């Protein structure tokens, strides 16, 4: 995927418990690509927020000692399936990538974390995500396989959410003002 321009097609479905999904993946012969790993993501934008206003994303992700720089274009939807252009590449040093972006006039605007376990079933990748606001399953691959596979895993594709984790976190914070949650979506230490 390094440097490859591709269209990301996914379903993101909130769940109460990831264990039944993991068992369904195992029973279908899915291959575990990685155990739960903490992902630390930082979004960048300019002072006017032009990327967010255009529904684009520029992200630096740290996971397992690897840095991944990602650009995502505006999403489109066909039913519950989100599609968007995605460019992604690994970089040697996250700190240097972030410094380059800042010298270009961009700034870090939000940090979000999740613990992700990754599985592959044929040409589809399934991510089991734990976030500070709950658990989700992301199914990514050819659009014609996503809803069917979701059903096979005991999930309801019609429950898929369209929003990004960042937008979901903002809604979660507004819905729980009594919790005094931070602006960044991070796990409490």
Tokens, residue 33: 């690509």
pLDDT in tens, 78-131: 999 999 999 999 999 999 999 999 999 999 999 999 999 999 999 999 999 999
HSE toward the beta carbon, residue 49, CA cutoff 13 A: 5
Q: What is the pLDDT of residues 119-164, one digit of tens each?
A: 999 999 999 999 999 999 999 999 999 999 999 999 999 999 999 9
Sign of torsion over alpha carbons 67, 68, 69, 75: negative
Lookup: tokens for 154: 């005991």
- Domain residue ranges of the chain, discontinuous segments joined by +: 5-179
- Assess whether pLDDT exceeds 80 at residue 182: yes
In whole angstroms, give the CA distance from residue 105 to residue 174: 30
pLDDT tens column, 25-37? 999 999 999 999 9
Q: Are 82 and 57 in contact (CB under 8 A)?
A: no
Q: Report d(CA 146, CA 163) in Å as an integer.
A: 17
Structure token digits, residue 70: 């990602």
Question: What values do phi and psi take at 171, rounded to 5?
Answer: -65, -40
pLDDT of 2: 47
Residue 3 has pLDDT above 60, yes or no: no
CATH number belonging to domain 5-179: 2.40.320.10
* Residues 8 and 72 sit within 8 Å (Cβ to Cβ): yes
Helices (H), the chain: 19-27, 50-53, 94-103, 143-152, 165-175
Would the pTM count as exceeding 0.75? yes
């Amino acid at each position: 995927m390094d440097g490859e321009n591709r269209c990301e097609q996914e379903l993101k479905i909130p769940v109460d418990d990831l264990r039944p999904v993991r068992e369904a993946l195992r029973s279908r012969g899915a291959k575990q690509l990685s155990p739960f790993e903490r992902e630390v993501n930082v979004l960048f934008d300019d002072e006017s927020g032009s990327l967010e206003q255009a529904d684009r994303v520029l992200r630096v992700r740290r996971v397992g000692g690897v840095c991944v720089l990602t650009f995502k274009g505006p999403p489109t939807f066909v039913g519950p399936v989100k599609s968007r252009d995605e460019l992604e590449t690994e970089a040697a040093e996250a700190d240097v990538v972030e410094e380059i972006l800042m010298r270009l006039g961009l700034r870090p605007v939000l940090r979000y974390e999740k613990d992700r376990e990754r599985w592959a079933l044929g040409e589809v990748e399934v991510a089991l995500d734990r976030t500070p606001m709950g658990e989700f399953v992301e199914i990514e691959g050819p659009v014609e396989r996503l809803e069917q596979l979701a059903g096979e895993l005991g999930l309801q594709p019609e429950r898929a959410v369209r929003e990004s984790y960042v937008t979901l976190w903002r809604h979660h914070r507004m819905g729980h003002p009594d919790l005094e949650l931070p602006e960044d979506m991070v796990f409490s230490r």
